[in-house]
C-alpha cells in the first residue's frame, strides 16, 4: 500500500494542498489553480483510487492520510472539499506539523444524519452504494447533479463538473465504495474540538448534502474556528461563486 499517488504542483510561494471530494478528481480545481498559482505553490492531488491515482485505491481514511504524507509538503494550508474535508481534517489532527491552516469546503465532521444532527439521510447513502454496484458511471452523474441542486446555475455547474472529472481516468469502484462507507461512518465531531491550527469552514447556503445549519451548530461547538456561507452556492461554491471563493480563501490565508 505504499504506491505513490498523482500530484499536480504549479506556482511559487506558500504551499496550498487541495483535496477533491467523492467520485471526483483534482481536475475540479482547474479554475481555482489558475487564480492562485501566481501567488502560491498549489498542490492538487488525485486521492488514492481517483483520477490519475485510480489504479492505487485506499480503503480507509487512515490509509488515505498515510499515502498523502508520502509526498505532501510540510507547513502548508490544507483545503478539502466534501469527503476531502474529512481527509484534510484528519491530517491536521494527527500530523499538525504538515498543516499551517485548515480549510474545509461543503464538508462536515459527520456526513450522515442522526437526530438531531443534520446531514445526508442514511438511506440516500445506502441507495448510492446499491446503485454503484449496478452502474457506477450513472451513480457518479447522479451525485454530480445532487451536488449542484438548488444553485441558480445548477445546469452550468454540472456541465463544468462533468467536463473536468471526465478529463481524467474513471475512479476505482473499490475506492468509491470505501468512500461511501467513510461518509456513512466517520464522525470527527469530538476529536475536532482538539484542533490546534486555525480553521475556516466554507458552506453553500443551498447545499442539500451538508445543510447550512451544520455551520450554525459548529459555530457554537467550535468557537475557535471561522465560517463563511456563500449565498448562491450549493455543494460546490468554488464553481458557482469562484471569485468570492478565492477572495475568502486568500483573506484567510493572509491572516
pLDDT, residue 144, reads 85
Q: Is residue 121 part of a domain?
A: yes
Q: Is residue 123 part of a domain?
A: yes
Active site residue 207: yes
pTM of the model: 0.95
Distance between CA 104 and CA 124 in Å, rounded? Answer: 23
Cα distances (angstroms) measured from residue 117 to each of 43, 114, 217, 218: 33, 5, 9, 11
Distance between CA 131 and CA 101 in Å, rounded? Answer: 37
Reduced to 3 states, what is the DSSP secondary structure of residue 171? Answer: coil
The number of angstroms, rounded, from the C-alpha of 4 to the middle of its chain's C-alpha atoms is: 20
Q: Is residue 126 part of a domain?
A: yes
Nearest CA-CA partner of 25 in 185, 162, 182, 207: 162
Active site residue 46: no
Distance between CA 86 and CA 61 in Å, rounded? Answer: 8
Tell me the CATH number at 138: 3.40.50.1820
| Marked catalytic residue, from 82, 89, 100, 108 | 82
| Marked catalytic residue, from 151, 207, 233, 234 | 207
Active site residue 82: yes
Q: In the chain, how many H helices and how many E strands?
A: 10, 7
Q: DSSP letter string over 176-206? A: HHHHHHHHHH---TTGGGG--S-EEEEEETT
pLDDT in tens, 205-228: 999 899 999 999 999 999 999 999
Q: Is residue 1 part of a domain?
A: no
pLDDT, residue 255, reads 74
Nearest CA-CA partner of 73 in 21, 7, 26: 7
Range of the domain at 38: 7-253
Cα distances (angstroms) measured from residue 188 to each of 23, 171, 234, 252: 21, 25, 23, 23
Q: Is residue 2 part of a domain?
A: no
Distance between CA 194 and CA 81 in Å, rounded? Answer: 21
Cα distances (angstroms) measured from residue 228 to each of 35, 196, 213, 214, 242: 20, 20, 12, 12, 14
pLDDT, residue 2, reads 53
Which pairing describes strands 76-81 and 7-10: parallel, antiparallel, or unpaired? unpaired
By the 10 Å C-beta count (0-12 exposed, 13-18 middle, 19+ buried), 227 is classed as middle
* pLDDT lower than 70: segments of the chain: 1-2
**CB neighbour list of residue 137: distance below 8 Å, 6 or more residues apart:** 170
Cα distances (angstroms) measured from residue 169 to each of 16, 166, 181, 243: 24, 7, 22, 28
How wide is the angle at C-alpha 191 spanned by C-alphas 190 and 195, nearest 5°? 120
User: What total number of domains does the chain contain?
Assistant: 1
Amino acid at each position: 500500500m505504499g504506491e505513490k499517488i498523482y500530484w499536480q504542483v504549479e506556482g511559487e510561494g506558500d504551499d496550498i494542498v487541495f483535496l477533491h471530494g467523492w467520485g471526483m478528481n483534482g481536475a475540479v480545481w482547474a479554475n481555482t489553480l489558475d487564480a492562485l498559482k501566481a501567488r502560491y505553490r498549489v498542490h492538487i492531488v488525485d486521492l488514492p483510487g481517483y483520477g490519475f491515482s485510480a489504479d492505487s485505491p485506499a480503503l480507509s481514511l487512515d490509509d488515505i492520510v498515510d499515502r498523502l504524507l508520502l509526498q505532501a509538503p510540510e507547513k502548508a494550508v490544507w483545503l478539502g472539499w466534501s469527503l476531502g474535508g474529512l481527509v484534510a481534517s484528519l491530517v491536521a489532527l494527527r500530523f499538525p506539523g504538515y498543516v499551517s491552516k485548515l480549510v474545509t469546503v461543503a464538508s462536515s465532521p459527520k456526513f450522515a444524519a442522526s437526530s438531531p444532527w443534520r446531514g445526508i439521510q442514511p438511506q440516500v447513502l445506502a441507495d448510492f452504494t446499491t446503485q454503484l454496484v449496478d452502474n457506477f458511471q450513472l451513480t457518479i452523474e447522479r451525485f454530480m447533479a445532487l451536488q449542484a441542486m438548488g444553485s441558480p446555475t445548477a445546469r452550468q455547474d454540472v456541465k463544468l463538473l462533468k467536463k473536468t472529472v471526465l478529463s481524467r481516468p474513471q475512479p476505482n469502484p473499490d475506492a468509491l465504495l470505501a468512500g461511501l462507507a467513510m461518509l456513512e461512518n466517520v464522525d470527527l465531531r469530538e476529536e475536532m474540538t482538539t484542533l490546534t491550527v486555525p480553521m475556516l469552514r466554507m458552506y453553500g447556503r443551498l447545499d442539500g448534502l451538508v445543510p447550512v445549519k451544520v455551520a450554525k451548530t459548529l459555530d457554537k461547538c467550535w468557537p475557535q474556528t471561522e465560517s463563511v456561507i456563500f449565498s448562491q452556492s450549493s455543494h460546490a461554491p468554488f464553481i458557482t461563486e469562484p471569485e468570492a471563493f478565492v477572495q475568502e480563501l486568500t483573506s484567510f490565508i493572509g491572516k
